[in-house]
Structure formats: C-alpha cells, structure tokens
C-alpha cells in the first residue's frame, strides 16, 4: 500500500547549521521558509522593535542618571543596580525581538547557550546581514516572480477563452 501517502517537498527552506568557532556542529539549525511572504515583514518588525527597545533603554538610563545616587545593599550604588536591571530587561526584550525573526530559541542557538550581550548582538546582526538576508532578498524576488507568472498566465488564459 505505498499509494497511501503524500511525499512532501521542502522547496525553498533555508536550513543553516550552527557550528562553533572550531567548526564543530552544535547540533542546532535555523530554518527559514523562503516562500513565507511574512518573513520580510518579520525582519522589518525586528528592526523597528529593536530601535524602540534601544530608545526605551536610553530613556531608562537617563532617568536613572537624574536620580540622586545612594549606597546600595551590597557593592554597587542604587543607581548602578538600577542600570543593571534596565540592561537586563533590555537584553531579555532583545532576545524576544530577535526570536520573532530567527525562530524559537534562535538567539540561544546562535550563541550556543550563552547569554546575550553587546558583542553578541553585533554578531547576530552580522549573521543576519551576511548569511540570511541575501537569501531573503532573492526569496522576495522569486515570490514576486511566481505571483506575476501565475496571474499573468491566468489572465492570458481568460483572454483566450
């Protein structure tokens, strides 16, 4: 009964294996469906939300700097503790923002389980720019071309009838 199944194709799936600095596979992958017409919108949302989050952090730090500083509970002053909390909230939000585009746990996969920081944010931006966006740009062109072909053919068929 081999006729009782449907063979699915994985057309236009970009699968990027993640390897460590020594070239050893981490066993993790990022996958992008290049025919997903919402993928460019997700990337655009990443950029917009990233900017909003950075502006929010900047405002939080300005507010903290304007407060009178007092001795903290341990080594740091109260303002220094507040700044660390603000930065921690910023990085948590950044991880959520990037995962909207990269997929579930995408940031953790790219960082091989490490915590997100300034350097790693720049690295992730570089990975996206150099290794994902070229495929995404081609994908947008291909989707547009396929839509034009489909509806140009449909229009021509209707004219012929």
By percentage, how much of the chain surpasses pLDDT 90?
59
Annotate 4-27 with three-state secondary structure.
CCCCCCCCCEEEEEEECCCCCEEE
Domain parsing of the chain, residue ranges: 13-137
The overall pTM is greater than 0.85: no
pLDDT reading at 1 higher than 80: no
54-68: pLDDT as tens digits: 999 999 999 999 999
């Amino acid at each position: 009964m081999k006729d009782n199944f449907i063979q699915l194709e994985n057309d236009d799936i970009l699968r990027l294996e993640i390897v460590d600095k020594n070239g050893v596979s981490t066993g993790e992958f990022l996958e992008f469906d290049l025919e997903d017409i919402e993928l460019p919108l997700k990337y655009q949302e990443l950029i917009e939300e990233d900017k909003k989050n950075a502006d929010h952090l900047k405002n939080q730090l300005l507010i903290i700097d304007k407060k009178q500083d007092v001795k903290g509970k341990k080594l740091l002053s109260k303002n220094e503790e507040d700044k660390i909390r603000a930065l921690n909230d910023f990085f948590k939000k950044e991880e959520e923002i990037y995962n909207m585009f990269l997929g579930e746990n995408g940031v953790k996969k790219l960082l091989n389980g490490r915590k997100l920081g300034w350097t790693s944010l720049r690295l992730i931006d570089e990975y996206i720019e150099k290794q994902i966006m070229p495929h995404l740009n081609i994908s947008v062109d291909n989707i547009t071309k396929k839509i034009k072909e489909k509806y140009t053919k449909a229009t021509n068929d209707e004219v012929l009838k």
